[in-house]
Each structure stands twice: as structure tokens, then as C-alpha cells.
Amino acid sequence: MAGVLIAFSGKGGSGKTTLASLMIRELIRSGNKPVLAVDADPNATLALMLGVPCPGTIADLRDEMMEVAKKPSEIPKDRLMDRWLAELLSEQTGFDLLTMGRPEGPQCYCYINGLLRRYLKLLRDNYPYVVVDCEAGMEYLSRLTVDDADALVLVAEPTNVGLTTAERIAELSQALPIRVRRRVLAVNKVPASGGEAESTELFRPAPVQAVVQVPFDGDLARRASCGEAVDDAAGSAARDAVVQLMRECLS
């Protein structure tokens, strides 16, 4: 059976990678493992945030394949690529990590996006849970990189611009030929004093099935500024909200 896929989308800097990292930790902690963690942002930071070595990327493979394609080979290119993709998976405790990367030079993303989409479909049979950290904005949706998600988490800061962006992504995900079972709005970095009520007033009638508010967590901000990973001890102030977010995504 295909694993449950949870994708994190939203405006640049809203906290997609942070919440994806916390979600991966929470899934593992609650026994929902193994998790396949997928960094689908060309500016890959998920490995850094999780505190694990930066693995090779699908984009690197594309460049290698270009070299191989110049010479005659006995192994069909597709088989060779599948073997290389399998070797790319970086094994960690409770999760494996797959990183898309970005092509060098002016090539377009279509080829590596296609590889990621095809490989994700295969891998979903091997992992009960898949968490995808998407790039900022909406282009990855139009490229159909993630075309079948159990939950699309729309991460937004509690501002008009943040929530409008989340709403547009939610609407686009409805208009495109993709399957999204549940859209969950995660209003992130909500200030402690009075923030909850204030930001609730800002909520748009976006096509979302649930809204979770994640408080501003000084530990997460400090870790980011010191380059410290989001490990099991990180983000205690945000933890209850992340547990709630996980439940909304899995329900």
C-alpha cells in the first residue's frame, strides 16, 4: 500500500523546512516510521536542518547520466538510473533522506522533476510515511512534482501576505489535475501574547479542511541563527502544535 504523503508548501521563509523537520521527528517519536524525508526544494536545506550529512542529489545523477549517454552502454539507461537513485537514499535513524537538488547551469527542471515524481511513486510502496519539503511559491505544484498528497500543509506567517499566499496555493492545488486529500493551514510563528486571537481574524476562507496555529518558538529561531539542527530536543514550545498538525494530516 502506498505510504501517507505529507507535503509542506508556502511562502519563502514561512517555516516549511522547520515544520517538516519537526513533523519527521514527531512521526518517528510516535512510532510512525520509517519515514522517507524528501527535499524537493532546489535550494536544499532539509539535511542541514535535520543535522545529517548532505547527500548526493537527483540533479547530480542527471549530470552523470549526460556523461554516460555519450558512450555506448550495455545496461539500459532507465535501469542504470534506478540503481543510482536507490544508492542516493541516505539512511538515518528512523528516516531515509532523498534530495532533489538543482541542475547546474541554465537547464530546466523538467527532467529532474520527472525523475523525482517517478521515483516517489515507486518509493511510496516501501515507506509508510513520506514527508516532502517543497520549494517556496507555487511553481512546483504547476510542475506537478507532487501530484498525489494525503495532506498538503500550507505554512503561513500570521500576516495578510502570508495567508493570502497560502490561500492561493490551496486554490491552485484545487484547480490542477492533482489529488490532495486534505489541505491543512499551519499558521506559524504566532506571537504568544494575544497572537492567537489576532491572527484568527486574519484567516481567509481558504479551501482548507483544518487550521493549526504554531506558536513562535524562540528555541527554533535561536537554532536557525546559530546553525544548530532541529533535533529531538528542539522546539518544545511548538511541540503540541506539531502533534496537532500531525493528527490533522493523518486523520
Q: Which of residues 34-53 bind ligand ATP (CB under 6 A)?
A: 41
Is 188 a binding residue for Mg ion by CB under 5 A? The answer is: no
- The footprint of ligand ATP on this chain (CB under 6 A) covers a number of residues equal to 19
Cell 537513485, residue?
85
Instruction: State which of residues 188, 206, 242, 245 lies at the interface with ligand ATP (CB under 6 A).
Output: 188
Instruction: State which of residues 136, 144, 202, 243 lies at the interface with ligand ATP (CB under 6 A).
Output: 136
Is 191 a binding residue for ligand ATP by CB under 6 A? The answer is: no
For residues 50 and 114, what is the distance between their CA atoms, to the nearest angstrom? 26
Tell me the C-alpha to C-alpha distance, in Å, between residue 43 and each of 59, 103, 134.
Answer: 12, 11, 10
Q: What is the DSSP letter of 43?
A: S
Tell me the C-alpha to C-alpha distance, in Å, between residue 68 and each of 58, 62, 73, 83.
Answer: 15, 10, 8, 14
Cell 486574519, residue?
202
Task: Between 73 and 160, name the residue whose CB sits nearer to ligand ATP.
Answer: 160
Instruction: State which of residues 9, 17, 145, 199 lies at the interface with Mg ion (CB under 5 A).
Output: 17
Is 158 a binding residue for ligand ATP by CB under 6 A? The answer is: no
| DSSP letter string, 75-109 | S-HHHHHHHHHHHHPEE-SSEEEEE----STT--S
Task: Between 20 and 187, name the residue whose CB sits nearer to Mg ion.
Answer: 20
Task: Between 14 and 81, name the residue whose CB sits nearer to ligand ATP.
Answer: 14
Residues that bind ligand ATP (CB under 6 A): 10, 12-18, 41, 136, 188-189, 214, 216-217, 220-221, 224, 238
Residues that bind Mg ion (CB under 5 A): 16-17
